[in-house]
């Protein structure tokens, strides 16, 4: 009887632990408006999560902008907050403000900060920052980077990576003399820190698209080379860039505007540590012709010889989050398949690979009410996927998930209402059910 | 109680929208609305064809199309067309929407979102909105969405779509 009771108690504790582990942990303070999480896992397993918050000072700046000649400055002031966990996500540190000066960060969720950790454990955060063009006195946005060499306990003052151009595009960029934002960052195993951003410095009224500029460090962020143009002025200026590296190759995701007005998701590949890129490859099948601000990034992840890409495609049937894979390093892509064909809205996909298993997360709306975060896995290298499963969460809208592979599963973080939450998902989690073959 | 307040506020907005005779006239203040107030505002416009334009001050294509939308409204207002904007800028930028409208499009009757998520507001008319701006809806006299247009069109294309919506409702 005692043994039975002990067994029952152990079983109850196991179930309780599993249920507790399944509950997302809130990591941003209650009562504040946190948005746009990003996440990285260090080689030692430390989990870092950052997010954006608009500052009261930023709101004052917005009011000043309202009273300005332009009636708008696009000059949003925000802070980046960081928490870290050294116990596998059970507990997190108190939030640390990353930026030295309050309101230093250009704070729109559509151009969110990026975080990555180098093999040496250096934490890099790349973000758009507020500045002033010295000649005109007009606001500009510049790409900035900061790093921590003590495990996220403190950060260096931000360094500016982009040049301040002479041109004034405030008539095109609504109050900003120039904008260098919507950026991304990726690291390699040799100390390479590769940053990319969309730049309006040569924008024209006839061609209101952006160029992609880059600044690279080969010494884990100690020094950076000067910024250089890597893609011409045909990049959708409001679709944030993405990048990943593997085996000496850099993959850069962007949305290219064709002469006919299609804004298609593309991948460019560099094989010389970022010094040059091959022409972009469009993927996804259906073209998407639209003169608008789609605000849609391209998720990328590499698994050996496979490159996966996922993004929203408004030209596809159904419109929503689609995924494709390339078997030849990004030169060509297979026909794309929808991640959540039954959902009227599916968007913001992100990808991770864990030991050959592909994990996808996105937000979707299935009941006509609020958006929720969904996940799915492919255990056969992207050919079939488990049925989309909604990640349980508190009430409210769950949006903009991010993923990081760790410890045989994925750490998932997202914005739940005005709070940033996170949880671990093991690959044997019940959410990842039986595979379902989809019809492309 | 909040529903009563929402309805009352919406009634004021509707009255202002319908009384404003057109270009050059006094245009109502930019009103911050919740989903309930937005829904009540649209309900108050039943009997009109509403061209609802979801826009943002940071969206270049949005700003390019507003003059065309205003021209279409001026052309078809007597036939029962009402142009109504819904700015989805961050709530923290509310003052900017007001001054921006005043400076660039003083004749543009527009609402803006309150602290609610933009998706919650647009879902009043379209639960499948995908956060793309600009998005323009043609809403029939009975309140049903007749057409969703994403991205900037030409003035002629907007005019054609509005005329079709007006015909559909008669």
State pLDDT tens for residues A374-396: 999 999 999 999 999 999 998 88
Please give the residue range of the domain that contains residue A59: 34-238
DSSP A262: B
Q: Which two tokens stand for residue B30?
A: 């930019």
Supply the pLDDT for residue A346: 98
Both A21 and A38 in one domain: the answer is no
Supply the pLDDT for residue A10: 42
Both A195 and A95 in one domain: the answer is yes
Supply the pLDDT for residue A394: 86
Rounded to whole angstroms, the Cα distance separating B153 from B140 reads 20
Pick from B118, B79, B68: nearest CA to B97:
B118
The whole-angstrom distance between residue A197's C-alpha and the CA centroid of its chain comes to 13
Instruction: Sort out which chain A residues have CB atoms less than 8 A from B133's CB and list them.
Output: 292-293
CA distance A253 to chain B (A): 19
A371 to chain B, any CB pair closer than 8 A? The answer is yes
CA distance B55 to chain A (A): 10
CA distance A348 to chain B (A): 10
Please state, as a whole number, how many other Cβ atoms lie within 10 Å of the Cβ of residue A439. Answer: 6
Q: Is A330 among the domain residues?
A: no
B59 to chain A, any CB pair closer than 8 A? The answer is yes
Rounded to whole angstroms, the Cα distance separating A91 from A16 reads 17
Beta bridge partners of A436: A385
Q: Is A273 among the domain residues?
A: no
Lowest mean pLDDT segment, chosen from A107-121, A169-183, A275-289: A169-183
Rounded to whole angstroms, the Cα distance separating A132 from A138 reads 6
Domains and CATH numbers, chain B: 2-167 (3.40.30.10)
Residues 6+ apart with CB under 8 A from A154: A148
8 Å CB contact of B60 and A368:
no
Mean pLDDT score of chain A, rounded to an integer?
Answer: 89
Exposure string for A169-181, b = 16+ CB within 10 A, e = fewer:
bbebbbbbbbbbb
Please state, as a whole number, how many other Cβ atoms lie within 10 Å of the Cβ of residue B4. Answer: 8
Q: Which two tokens stand for residue A208?
A: 């209101």
Both A364 and A437 in one domain: the answer is yes
Q: What is the dihedral of CA A241, A117, A374, A432, to 10 degrees?
A: 130
Pick from A235, A230, A242: nearest CA to A299:
A242
Q: How many domains does chain A have?
A: 2
8 Å CB contact of A293 and B57:
no
Supply the pLDDT for residue B91: 82
8 Å CB contact of A290 and B128:
no
8 Å CB contact of A397 and B58:
no
Of the residues A238, A266, A291, the one at which a domain ends: A238
For residue A130, which phi and psi values (nearest 5 degrees)? -80, 140
∠B36-B37-B40 over CA atoms, to 5°?
Answer: 90
Of the residues A180, A204, A238, the one at which a domain ends: A238
- Its pTM stands at 0.90
8 Å CB contact of A66 and B99:
yes
For residue A75, is pLDDT > 70? no
Nearest CB to A291: which of B127, B129, B152? B152
Tokens 């590296």, residue located: A245
Rounded to whole angstroms, the Cα distance separating B160 from A352 reads 46
Both A41 and A184 in one domain: the answer is yes
pLDDT (tens place) for every residue of chain B, 170 residues total = 455 555 666 665 665 565 554 444 567 889 999 999 999 999 999 999 999 999 998 888 999 999 999 999 999 999 999 999 999 998 877 888 888 898 889 999 999 999 888 999 999 999 999 999 999 999 999 999 999 999 999 999 999 999 999 999 65
Question: With a CB-CB cutoff of 8 Å, which residues 60-79 of chain A face chain B?
Answer: 62-63, 65-68, 70-74, 76
Percent of all residues in chain A with a pLDDT value above 70, rounded to a whole number:
89
8 Å CB contact of B96 and A293:
no
For residue A15, is pLDDT > 50? no
A294 to chain B, any CB pair closer than 8 A? The answer is yes
CA distance A319 to chain B (A): 9
| pLDDT tens column, A299-346 | 999 999 999 999 999 999 999 999 999 999 999 999 999 999 999 999
Q: Is A349 among the domain residues?
A: yes
The whole-angstrom distance between residue B70's C-alpha and the CA centroid of its chain comes to 11
Pick from B26, B22, B134, B154: nearest CA to B86:
B134
Both A230 and A122 in one domain: the answer is yes
8 Å CB contact of B128 and A345:
yes
Residues 6+ apart with CB under 8 A from B78: none
Nearest CB to B127: which of A65, A295, A365? A365
Supply the pLDDT for residue A208: 87
Measured CA distances, A270 to A208, A334, B53 (Å): 26, 21, 41
DSSP A206: S
Q: Which two tokens stand for residue A100?
A: 């030295």
Exposure string for A242-261, b = 16+ CB within 10 A, e = fewer:
bbbbbeebbbbbbbbbeeee
Both A24 and A100 in one domain: the answer is no
Instruction: Sort out which chain B residues have CB atoms less than 8 A from A291's CB and list them.
Output: 61, 151-152
Both A207 and A73 in one domain: the answer is yes
Supply the pLDDT for residue A236: 95
Measured CA distances, B138 to A50, A210, B33, B82, B124 (Å): 40, 32, 20, 10, 14
Lowest mean pLDDT segment, chosen from A89-93, A112-116, A430-434, B128-132: A430-434
Q: Half-sphere exposure of A286 toward its Cβ, with a 13 Å CA cutoff?
A: 20
∠A305-A307-A312 over CA atoms, to 5°?
Answer: 170
For residue A361, is pLDDT > 90? yes
Nearest CB to B102: which of A54, A71, A108? A71
Q: Is A419 among the domain residues?
A: yes
Q: Is A5 among the domain residues?
A: yes
A–B interface: beta-carbon pairs under 8 A:
105
Both A27 and A102 in one domain: the answer is no
Of the residues A238, A257, A290, the one at which a domain ends: A238
Residue A30: pLDDT band (50, 70, 90) is very high
Residues 6+ apart with CB under 8 A from A54: A33, A76, A77, A78, A107, B90, B92
Instruction: Sort out which chain B residues have CB atoms less than 8 A from A172's CB and list them.
Output: 60
Q: Which two tokens stand for residue B159?
A: 């005019």
Rounded to whole angstroms, the Cα distance separating B69 from A287 reads 26
A228 to chain B, any CB pair closer than 8 A? The answer is no
Tokens 């505007």, residue located: A257
Instruction: Sort out which chain A residues have CB atoms less than 8 A from B57's CB and list them.
Output: 72, 174
Both A88 and A198 in one domain: the answer is yes
CA distance B46 to chain A (A): 23
Mean pLDDT of A50-72: 65
Supply the pLDDT for residue B14: 61
B96 to chain A, any CB pair closer than 8 A? The answer is yes
Tokens 């319908």, residue located: B18
For residue A434, is pLDDT > 50? yes
Rounded to whole angstroms, the Cα distance separating A287 from A265 reads 9
Both A81 and A12 in one domain: the answer is no
Rounded to whole angstroms, the Cα distance separating A333 from A341 reads 20
Residues 6+ apart with CB under 8 A from A113: A36, A38, A50, A52, A80, A105, A125, A126, A127, A128
Q: What is the CA radius of gyration of chain B?
A: 14
Listed ranges A110-114, A202-206, B80-84; the one with the highest mean pLDDT = B80-84
- CATH number of the domain at A217, please: 2.120.10.10
Rounded to whole angstroms, the Cα distance separating A410 from A355 reads 11
Q: Is A16 helix (H, G, I), strand (E, B) or coil?
A: helix
**Residue spans of beta strands (DSSP E) within B10-169:** 31-33, 49-55, 81-87, 110-113, 135-139, 145-150
| pLDDT tens column, A222-241 | 999 999 999 999 999 999 99
Residues in chain B: 170
Residue A20: pLDDT band (50, 70, 90) is very low
Contact B140, B148 (CB under 8 A): no
For residue A436, which phi and psi values (nearest 5 degrees)? -125, 125
Q: What is the ipTM of this complex?
A: 0.86
8 Å CB contact of A76 and B151:
no
| Alpha helices by DSSP H, A196-339 | none
Q: Is A389 among the domain residues?
A: yes
Name which of B96, B102, B132 to mutate to probe chain A: the one with the most chain A Cβ atoms within 10 A of its Cβ. B96
Both A399 and A387 in one domain: the answer is yes
Both A14 and A105 in one domain: the answer is no
Lowest mean pLDDT segment, chosen from A54-58, A105-109, A370-374, B140-144: A54-58
Rounded to whole angstroms, the Cα distance separating B70 from B11 reads 23
């Amino acid at each position: 009887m005692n043994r039975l009771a002990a067994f029952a108690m152990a079983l109850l504790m196991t179930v309780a632990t599993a249920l507790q582990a399944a509950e997302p942990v809130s990591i941003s303070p209650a009562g504040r408006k946190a948005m746009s999480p990003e996440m990285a896992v260090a080689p030692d397993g430390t989990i870092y999560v950052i997010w954006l918050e608009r500052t009261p000072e930023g709101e004052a700046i917005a009011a000043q902008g309202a009273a300005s000649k332009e009636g708008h400055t696009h000059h949003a002031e925000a802070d980046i907050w960081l928490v870290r966990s050294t116990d596998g996500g059970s507990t997190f540190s108190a939030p640390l403000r990353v930026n030295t000066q309050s309101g230093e960060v250009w704070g729109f969720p559509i151009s969110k900060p990026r975080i990555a950790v180098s093999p040496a454990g250096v934490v890099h955060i790349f973000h758009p920052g507020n500045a002033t063009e010295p000649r005109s006195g007009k606001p500009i946005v510049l790409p900035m980077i900061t790093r921590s060499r003590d495990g996220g306990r403190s950060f260096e003052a931000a360094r500016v990576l982009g040049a301040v151009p002479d041109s004034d595009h405030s008539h095109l960029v609504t109050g900003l003399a120039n904008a260098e934002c919507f950026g991304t960052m990726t690291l390699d195993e040799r100390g390479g820190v590769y940053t990319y951003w969309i730049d309006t410095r040569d924008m024209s009224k006839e061609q209101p698209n952006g160029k992609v500029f880059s600044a690279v460090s080969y010494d884990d962020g100690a020094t950076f080379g000067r910024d250089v143009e890597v893609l011409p002025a045909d990049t959708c200026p409001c679709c944030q860039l993405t990048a990943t590296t593997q085996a000496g190759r850099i993959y850069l995701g962007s949305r290219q505007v064709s002469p006919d007005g299609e804004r298609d998701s593309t991948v460019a590949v560099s094989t010389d540590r970022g010094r040059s890129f091959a022409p972009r490859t469009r993927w996804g099948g259906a073209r998407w012709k639209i003169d608008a601000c789609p605000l849609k990034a391209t998720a990328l992840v590499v698994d050996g010889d496979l490159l996966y890409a996922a993004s929203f495609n408004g030209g596809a049937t159904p419109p929503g989050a689609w995924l494709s894979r390339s078997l030849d390093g990004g030169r060509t892509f297979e026909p794309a398949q929808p991640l959540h064909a039954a959902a009227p809205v599916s968007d913001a996909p992100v990808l991770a690979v864990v030991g050959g298993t592909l994990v996808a997360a996105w937000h979707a709306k299935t009941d006509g009410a609020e958006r929720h975060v969904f996940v799915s896995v492919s255990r056969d290298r992207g050919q079939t996927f488990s049925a989309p499963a909604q990640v349980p969460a508190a009430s409210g809208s769950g949006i903009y998930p991010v993923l990081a592979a760790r410890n045989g599963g994925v750490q998932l973080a997202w914005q739940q209402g005005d709070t940033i939450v996170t949880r671990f998902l093991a690959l044997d989690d019940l959410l990842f059910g039986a595979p379902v073959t989809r019809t492309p | 109680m909040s529903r009563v307040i929402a309805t009352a506020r919406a009634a004021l907005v509707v009255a202002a929208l319908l009384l404003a005779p057109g270009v050059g006239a006094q245009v109502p203040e930019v009103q911050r609305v919740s989903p309930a107030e937005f829904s009540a505002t649209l309900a108050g416009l039943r009997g009109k064809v509403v061209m609802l334009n979801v826009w943002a001050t940071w969206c270049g294509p949005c700003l390019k199309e507003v003059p065309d939308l205003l021209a279409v409204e001026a052309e078809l207002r007597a036939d029962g067309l009402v142009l109504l904007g819904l700015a989805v800028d961050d709530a923290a930028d509310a003052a900017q929407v007001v001054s921006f409208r005043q400076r660039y499009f003083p004749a543009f009757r527009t609402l803006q979102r309150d602290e609610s998520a933009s998706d919650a507001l647009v879902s009043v008319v379209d639960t499948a909105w995908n956060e793309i701006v600009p998005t323009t809806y043609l809403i029939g006299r009975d309140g049903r969405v007749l057409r969703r247009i994403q991205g900037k069109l030409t003035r002629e294309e907007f005019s054609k779509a509005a005329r079709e919506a007006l015909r559909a409702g008669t």
